[in-house]
Amino acid sequence: MGAGLFDGSTRFISFYVAIRLVQAGMYFSTSYRLQESQPYAKRMGMTVLGGMAIALFSLVFSSPLRQLIFLGSIGLEMIAIAQISTQRLTMPVHRSHLVERIGLLSIIVLGESVISLVSGLSGLEWNQYDMFAAVTGFLMIGAIWWIYFDSFNILERAKRIQ
């Protein structure tokens, strides 16, 4: 039999905690470098540390209680982040990289969409439904491309906002 869902959870949780520790450190680093976003970054850092501590605490228990506590830590962290997001705090946004990041996301989405569509339609005995699916899929991919290039001027304006 293959590995179960809960096999290796100690290793997974340990890696999760390590990644979240790095993320908390990045929030705290941002809070010291950018004074205008200090309240937001500190709260987010403390939230990540709190969720990480509960996830680390779950390692004390055995399966399935370990997984329940771990998932509970993620749930509590999500609720806390949603609560922080409703407050009027200045978030650290690097606007000059916004256009570049959205462009890279668009390239990835377009590439993966074309690959998925072509692989999904290969080897079919074409009928009217397959043709409709292919045309609709390529129209959607074209719409993603159009949305990106149509919003380029808005993204460029956002880049210049201070």
The reply to whether 3 falls in a domain is no
Shared domain check, 131 and 82: no
The reply to whether 15 falls in a domain is yes
Question: Based on C-alpha coordinates, what's the Rg of the chain?
Answer: 22
Shared domain check, 127 and 74: no
Q: What is the pTM of this model?
A: 0.58
Shared domain check, 137 and 77: no
Shared domain check, 18 and 79: yes
Shared domain check, 124 and 58: no
- Domain boundary residue, one of 60, 86, 112: 86
Whole-number Å distance between alpha carbons of 6 and 49: 24
The reply to whether 2 falls in a domain is no
The reply to whether 137 falls in a domain is yes
- Domain boundary residue, one of 46, 62, 86: 86
Q: Which pLDDT band, with edges at 50, 70 and 90, does 52 fall under?
A: very high
- Report in angstroms the alpha-carbon separations of 111 from 128, 142, 144, 148: 26, 12, 11, 14
Shared domain check, 106 and 73: no
- Structural domain count of the chain: 2
What is the domain extent for residue 151? 95-160
pLDDT at 70 over 70: yes
Cβ neighbours, 10 Å, residue 35: 9
pLDDT tens for residues 96-144? 677 777 778 888 988 888 888 888 878 878 888 888 988 898 898 888 8
Whole-number Å distance between alpha carbons of 62 and 59: 7
Shared domain check, 73 and 127: no
First-last CA distance in the chain: 58
At 135, the amino acid letter reads V
For 61, residues 6+ apart whose C-beta sits below 8 A from its C-beta are: 69
Shared domain check, 71 and 99: no
- Domain boundary residue, one of 46, 67, 86: 86
Residue with tokens 């509590």: 76
- Measured in degrees and rounded to the nearest 5, phi and psi for residue 24 equal -60, -40
In residues, how long is the chain?
162
